[in-house]
Chain A
Amino acid sequence: MLQGLRDQLKQLYQRWVNRRLPAASKIRLSNKRLFIFPTRAGFLFGGVLILLWLVATNFENNLVFGATFLLSAMFVVAIFHTFLNLSGLYVEAGRTPPCFCGGEAEFGILLSQKGRRYRDSISLYHRSSEAVVVSLPGTELAEVWLAVPAEKRGWFEPGRVTLETRYPLGLLRAWTYLDLKLCGLVYPRPIDAKGRLSSTAAGEGVDDLPGGREDFRGLERYRQGEALGHIAWKHYAREQGLHTKHFSDPVDEEVWLDWDAFPGMDAEARLSRLCGWLLAISSGSALYGLRIPGTEILPSRGEAHRSNVLRALALFDQAPRPRS
Chain B
Amino acid sequence: MQPTWQTPRPALLWMLISVVTTLALHVRHLPLWLLGAAALTVLWQIQVYRGAWQYPAKYIKVLLTLLCFGGVLSSYGHLLGLEPMVAILVSGFSLKLLEIHHRRDALVLIYLAYFIIVIQCLFEQGIVTGLIVVLGVTIVTAALAGLYQSNHNNQTDSRGILGAWFRPFRSSAVIIMQSLPLMLVLFIVMPRVGALWAVPKEQGSGVVGVSDSMSPGDFSDLGGSSKVAFRVEFEGDIPAQSALYWRGLVFSDFDGRRWSQSGSWGYRDGSLLQWYGDKPEPWDSQATRRGDALTYQVTLEATNSPWLFALATPKPASQDVALTRDFRLYSKRPLSSKTQYRVKSWPDYNLEVSGLSSWRRKMELALPDGFNPETRAIAEQWRQESPDTVALLNRLLKLYNEEFIYTLKPPLLGKHTVDEFLWETKRGFCEFYASSFVFFARAAGIPARVVAGYQGGERHPSEDYLLVHQYDAHAWAEVWLEGRGWIRVDPTAAVAPERVEMSFADLFGENKDFLAGSLLSLERYRHINWINNLRLRLDALDYAWAKWVLGYGNMQTDLLTSILGRLDPLRVGLFLLAAGALAMLPVAVMSLLGQEKKYRDDLDKFFIQFCQRMERAGITRRPGEGPRDFAARIQSLRPDLADQVSSLTALYEQQRYNTATLDSRNLRLKELRLKLRRFRPYLRSKVT
User: Hey, which bits of chain A sit against chain B, CB under 8 A?
Assistant: 41, 44-45, 48, 51-52, 54-55, 57-74, 76-78, 80-81, 84, 88, 110, 114-117, 120-121, 133, 135, 137-143, 166-170, 239, 241
Kindly state the separation between the CA atoms of A62 and B340 in the bound complex, as whole angstroms.
Answer: 13
A sample of 9 cross-chain residue pairs with beta-carbon separation below 8 angstroms, ordered by A number, consists of A44-B111, A61-B337, A66-B121, A73-B182, A77-B178, A77-B584, A121-B150, A135-B156, A168-B148
Contact status of A141 and B662, CB under 8 A, knowing A80-B591, A167-B148, A169-B148 = yes
- Tell me whether chain B's interface is mostly helix, strand or loop, or mixed: helix
Contacts of A52 in B (CB 8 A): 114-115, 118
Counting from the closest, the 4 A-B pairs by CB-CB distance are A73-B182, A63-B121, A73-B179, A69-B186
From known contacts A77-B179, A78-B175, A117-B595, infer whether A63 and B199 are also in contact, taking CB-CB under 8 Å. no
Q: How far is the CB of A242 from chain B (nearest CB, A)?
A: 9
Whether B122 and A77, one on each chain, are in contact in the complex, defined by CB atoms closer than 8 angstroms, is no
Partner of B118, one of A45, A62, A67, A117: A67
Q: What distance in Å separates the Cβ of A197 from its nearest Cβ neighbour in chain B?
A: 41
Tell me whether B40 is interfacial, beta carbon within 8 Å. Answer: no
Rounded to whole angstroms, the CA-CA distance of A69 and B186 in the bound complex is 6
Provide the bound-state CA to CA distance between A87 and B681, in Å. 45
Q: A59-B199, A68-B118, A168-B149 are in contact. List 18 more A-B contacts (CB 8 A).
A: A57-B196, A63-B121, A64-B118, A67-B118, A71-B114, A73-B181, A74-B179, A77-B182, A80-B178, A114-B596, A120-B150, A121-B149, A135-B152, A139-B663, A141-B661, A168-B145, A169-B141, A170-B144
- Whether A48 lies near B121 (C-beta < 8 A) is no
In the complex, what distance in Å separates the CA atom of A296 from the CA atom of B71? 85
Which A residues are in CB contact (< 8 Å) with B171? 168
Chain A residues whose C-beta falls within 8 Å of the C-beta of B180 in the assembled complex? 70, 73
Given the known interface contacts A48-B111, A73-B182, A121-B148, the answer about A59 and B187 at a Cβ–Cβ threshold of 8 Å is no
* In the complex, per-residue mask of B139-161: 1 if CB is within 8 Å of any chain A CB, else 0: 00100110111101001111000
Distance to closest chain B CB from A66 (angstroms):
6
Per the bound structure, the CA–CA distance linking A140 and B599 in Å amounts to 9
Minimum C-beta distance from B140 to chain A (A)? 10
Q: Known: A63-B550, A76-B179, A143-B663. Is A71-B137 also a contact (CB below 8 A)?
A: yes
CA distance A241 to B337 in the complex (A): 59
Answer whether residue B349 sits at the interface, using C-beta atoms and an 8 A cutoff.
no
CA distance A66 to B545 in the complex (A): 13
- Complex interface: chain A residues within 8 A of B594 (CB): 115, 117
* Beta-carbon contact of B186 and A73 below 8 Å: yes
Least CB distance from A110 to B in Å reads 8
Determine how close the nearest CB of chain B comes to the CB of A99; give it in whole angstroms. 21
Residue of A nearest to B602 (CB): A116
Looking across the interface, which residue of chain B has its beta carbon closest to that of A74? B179
CB of A48, distance to nearest CB on chain B (Å) = 5
Residues 619-656 of B, flagged 1 when their CB comes within 8 A of A and 0 if not, give 00000000000000000000000000000000000000
User: Is the pair B150, A62 in contact by a Cβ cutoff of 8 Å?
Assistant: no
Contact with A along B104-145 (1 / 0, CB 8 A): 100100010011011101100100011001100100010011
Q: How far is the CA of A44 from the CA of B115 in the complex (A)?
A: 12
| Residue of A with least CB distance to B552 | A62
Whether the Cβ atoms of A70 and B134 lie closer than 8 Å is yes
Q: Is the CB of B118 within 8 A of A60?
A: no
The answer on a CB contact under 8 Å between B666 and A115 is no
The answer for the CA separation of A76 and B201 in the assembled complex, in Å, is 32
Q: Any chain A CB within 8 A of the CB of B378?
A: no
Residues of A near B201 (CB, < 8 A) are: 59
Q: Which residues of B contact A62 (CB under 8 A)?
A: 187, 549-553
Closest partner residue, chain B, to A67 (CB atom): B118
List which B149-195 residues lie within 8 A (CB) of chain A. 149-150, 152, 155-158, 171, 175-176, 178-183, 186-187, 190, 192-195
Is B587 within 8 A of A77, CB to CB? yes
* Interface residue? B665 (CB, 8 A): yes
Q: Which residue of A lies closest to B598 (CB)?
A: A116
